[in-house]
Structure 1
Amino acid sequence: MDARLNYMASPTGGKVLKHFMAAGRALKETSLPAATQELVALRVSQINGCAVCIDMHTKEAAAAGETSVRLNLVAAWREATVFTEAERAALELAEQGTRVADAAGGVSDEVWARAAKHYDEEQLTALVILVAFMNTANRLNVIAQQPAGDYVAGQFH
């Protein structure tokens, strides 16, 4: 199985994605907890059906010590007792931020307030950028039909 496009082989793709990937690495350096970042990245990727990102973020989270129980329950986080209130708020914001077309106005004031209760302005900024970043990465991979399964944890860094 091959991807439709090799973005990095294109002068335009290579130039743009170099900066895009640098933005992704910069997000890792923020004060938003690493576990929250991986859970959010995984949930956004599940919603968008991006197999390569699901592969990547599941493996990165596991390598960082995340449990298989929590990783397996991300898709059903509302019914799971294994997530903190802060993580639940981040996952809810990520879902609404990904499904902006499903609700008039995008992220509701209630969802925003729950996230703001647990994260400071810097962390909220990182969370919003992460959701937007993941949606972009997912779309790039889904459109190109990037195959999944071969990712090795630590490869992105």
Structure 2
Amino acid sequence: MTARLNLFGNPDGTAAKAAGHFGTASKTILQESRLPAATQKLVLLRASQINGDAYATDVWTKNAAAAGERTDRINLVSAWRESTVFTDAERAALDLAEQGTDIAYAAGGVGDEAWAEAARHYDQDQLADLVVLTALINATNRMSVIVRLPGGDYVPAPDLANDK
């Protein structure tokens, strides 16, 4: 399978510039947020799975593994509600991210209960980072799905093991 379009094919094009800003914003959260790095990767992976983004699912599965995430936790992200390997804080983040991803199916978006549970575990800055991270991955997932960016060939950067 090949992608329909390379969004970065014309580096001077508007789409490449705009998509690049999404990447820059994501890197800012990933590198500067006090939201735990493992939580960030779990949220990115779960939203990508829900959105059917093969490329991002490949990326975040491999990035999590390269950063030292346990295989059982990576494999169980899609069934986190029925799993015992996630902390209460991670479960709250995953719930918020799922509800923020499935807004078309969850009338009203993120429910008050999910928000309150996330707020029990994260401060206002971390919650803001979680909201922005969820919104960014959903936008990038949609771009990838629209152009049919295939998964399977991604290779994590060697410095990922030193990720915060």
Report the CA distance between 1:94 and its aligned residue.
Answer: 0.5
Query: Which residue number in structure 2 is paired with residue 140 of structure 1?
Result: 143
Normalising by structure 1, report the TM-score.
Answer: 0.96
Amino acid at match of 2:68: G
Equivalent pairs counted in the alignment come to 157
Query: Which residue number in structure 2 is paired with residue 70 of structure 1?
Result: 73
Report the CA distance between 1:154 and its aligned residue.
Answer: 2.1
Report the CA distance between 1:20 and its aligned residue.
Answer: 1.4
> In structure 2, which of residues 87, 109, 118 is the aligned counterpart of residue 115 of structure 1?
118
Map 1:1-157 → 2, pairs under 5 A: 1-10=1-10, 11-28=13-30, 29-154=32-157
In structure 1, runs of 5+ residues without a counterpart are none
In structure 2, runs of 5+ residues without a counterpart are none
Give the secondary-structure state (helix, strand or coil) at the position aligned to 1:31: coil
Write the distance in 2 (CA, Å) between the matches of 1:74 and 1:144: 25
1:34-88 C-alpha deviation (Å, 9 max, x unpaired)? 0000000000001000000000000100011101100000000001000000000
Normalising by structure 2, report the TM-score.
Answer: 0.92
What do you get for the CA RMSD once the two structures are aligned?
1.4
Give the secondary-structure state (helix, strand or coil) at the position aligned to 1:9: coil
Write the distance in 2 (CA, Å) between the matches of 1:18 and 1:108: 31
